[in-house]
């Protein structure tokens, strides 16, 4: 049976707790549950079991040095009527972009279509519906440049996602550390 897969960086619990605590509790803003916070490296979509095994093997060969990544600043996608509130990753460490490219190469080696959208690394914190940017402005100003955490990236993970009325449910499918 096919699974809906994506590759992501897992956040340490301390970072997830810090980000969850930022919830301004605004009407029209659905803050994501703490356990769903991550940095997507590549959304792959529906993958059959044979291709999944090829993908696991290709991802298992991805290696880069461990690195530290800051969580810094809050922003939105969508101008006057934002759709997503996100936490930024500072100036996004060059190793993160190397990792993204190597993950995309692994997806290709597995015979799958890589995520071709431009890579804008972030952590999705909330989804907005009928919420103006003006209503979010005090919150965004307060956290625009704030350091919200720093963590050592030692690997990445593959998750499956099952969509439901209550939002997606993520299942860890594999974890890959950079060191042997």
Positions marked catalytic? 38, 122
The neighbour count for residue 49, using CB atoms within 10 Å, is 10
CA distance 176 to 169: 21
CA distance 148 to 44: 29
Alpha carbon 50 to chain centroid distance? 25
CA distance 52 to 112: 9
CA distance 137 to 120: 22
CA distance 158 to 51: 14
Considering only the C-alpha atoms of the chain, give the largest distance between any 2 of them, rounded to a whole number of Å.
49
Alpha helix stretches (DSSP H) within the chain: 13-20, 49-59, 94-109, 133-143
């Amino acid at each position: 049976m096919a699974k809906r897969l994506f590759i992501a960086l897992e956040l340490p619990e301390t970072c997830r707790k810090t980000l969850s605590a930022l919830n301004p509790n605004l009407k029209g803003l659905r803050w994501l549950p703490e356990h769903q916070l991550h940095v997507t490296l590549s959304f792959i979509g529906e993958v059959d079991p044979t291709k999944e095994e090829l993908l696991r093997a290709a991802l298992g060969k991805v290696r880069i040095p461990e690195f530290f990544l800051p969580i810094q600043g809050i922003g939105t996608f969508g101008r006057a009527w934002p759709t997503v509130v996100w936490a930024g990753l500072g100036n996004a460490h060059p190793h993160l972009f190397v990792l993204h490219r190597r993950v995309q190469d692994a997806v290709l080696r597995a015979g799958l279509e890589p995520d071709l959208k431009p890579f804008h690394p972030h952590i999705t914190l909330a989804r907005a519906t009928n919420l103006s940017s003006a209503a979010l402005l005090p919150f965004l100003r307060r956290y625009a440049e704030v350091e919200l955490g720093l963590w050592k990236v030692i690997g990445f993970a593959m998750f499956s996602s099952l969509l439901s009325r209550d939002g997606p449910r993520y299942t860890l499918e594999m974890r890959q550390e950079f060191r042997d």
